[in-house]
Chains A and B, each alone.
Chain A
Amino acid sequence: MSLAIPATSATPQQNWLEKLGAGHIILAVALVLYPLVASDFFLTQIGGYSLIFGMLGLSLMLLAGYGGMVSLAQITVAGIAAYAIAILGNNNSSILGLGWPWWLAVPFAVLAAALASALIGWISVRTEGIYTIMITLAIATATFYFAQQNYAIFNGHSGYAGIRAPVFWSVNWRDPRPFYYLCLGLAALSYAAVLYGSRSTFGMTLQAIRDNPRRMRALGYHVTAHKVFAWLLAGVIAGLAGVLLVWFNGRVSPGTIGVDAAIDVLIIAVIGGLRHPIGPFLGAVVVVLMQTFAIDIVGAERFNTLIGMVFLVIVFVSPDGILGLWGRIKPHLAQESLRPGP
Chain B
Amino acid sequence: MSLLDQPSQTLSESGGITGRQAWGLVGLLAAAVVAWLVFAVWPDWLNAILISKKAFVSAILNGITLAGLYFLVASGFTLIFGLMRNVNLAHGSLYLLGAYIGYEVTNRTGYWLLGVAAGFAVLAIVGVVMQVFVFRPLEGDDLRQTLVSIGISIVAADLMLAVWAGGTYQITTPEWLDGALTLPVITAVRSNGASVFLTYPLYRVVVLAAAIVIGVGLWLMLHKTRVGMMIRAGVDDRAMLQASGVNVHAVFAIVFAVGAGLAGFAGVVGGSALSVAPGEDVRYLLASLVVVIVGGMGSITGAAIGALLIGLAEQIGLVYFPTYGIVLTFVIMVVTLAVRPQGIMGKAR
Contacts and interface: CB of A to CB of B under 8 A. Distances in A.
Interface of A: 1-3, 70, 123, 126-127, 129-131, 133-135, 137-139, 141-142, 145-146, 149-152, 259, 263, 266-267, 270, 301-302, 304-305, 307-309, 311-312, 315-316, 319
Q: What secondary structure prevails in chain A residues at the interface with B?
A: helix
B341 A305 contact: no
B89 A309 contact: no
Contact of A134 (B87, B330, B338): B87
Nearest 5 CB-CB pairings of A with B: A308-B154, A308-B155, A304-B158, A312-B151, A142-B330
A308 B158 contact: yes
B177 interface: no
Contacts of B147: 266, 270, 311, 315
Q: What secondary structure prevails in chain B residues at the interface with A?
A: helix
A266 B150 contact: yes
A138 B293 contact: yes
Given A135-B293, A305-B155, A129 B142 contact: yes
Interface in B253-277: none
Nearest to A72: B150
Nearest to A307: B154
Interface in B301-349: 322-327, 329-330, 333-334, 337-338, 341
A311 B154 contact: yes
A151 B87 CA distance: 34
B218 interface: no
Interface in B98-146: 137-138, 141-144, 146
Interface in B277-299: 282, 285-286, 289-290, 292-293, 297
Given A137-B286, A138-B333, A152-B323, 18 more contacts: A1-B142, A2-B144, A123-B337, A123-B338, A130-B87, A130-B142, A135-B293, A135-B333, A138-B286, A142-B327, A142-B330, A142-B333, A145-B326, A146-B327, A263-B154, A270-B147, A302-B162, A316-B138
B180 interface: no
A146 B142 CA distance: 30
12 contacts: A1-B142, A1-B143, A131-B297, A133-B87, A141-B286, A142-B333, A305-B154, A308-B152, A311-B151, A312-B152, A316-B137, A316-B138
B205 interface: no
B112 to A, nearest CB: 31
Interface of B: 85, 87, 89, 137-138, 141-144, 146-148, 150-152, 154-155, 157-159, 161-162, 282, 285-286, 289-290, 292-293, 297, 322-327, 329-330, 333-334, 337-338, 341
Given A308-B151, A315-B151, A130 B146 contact: yes
Contacts of B150: 263, 266-267, 311
A259 B326 contact: no
A139 B105 CA distance: 36
Nearest to A149: B323
A216 B85 CA distance: 26
A142 B329 contact: yes
B151 A135 contact: no
Nearest to A147: B326
Contacts of B293: 131, 134-135, 138
A77 to B, nearest CB: 16
Contacts of B326: 142, 145-146, 149
A309 B87 CA distance: 19
A143 to B, nearest CB: 8
A128 to B, nearest CB: 9
Contact of A126 (B138, B285, B324, B341): B341
Contact of B148 (A138, A151, A312): A312
Contacts of B324: 146, 150
Nearest to B138: A316
Contacts of A302: 158, 162
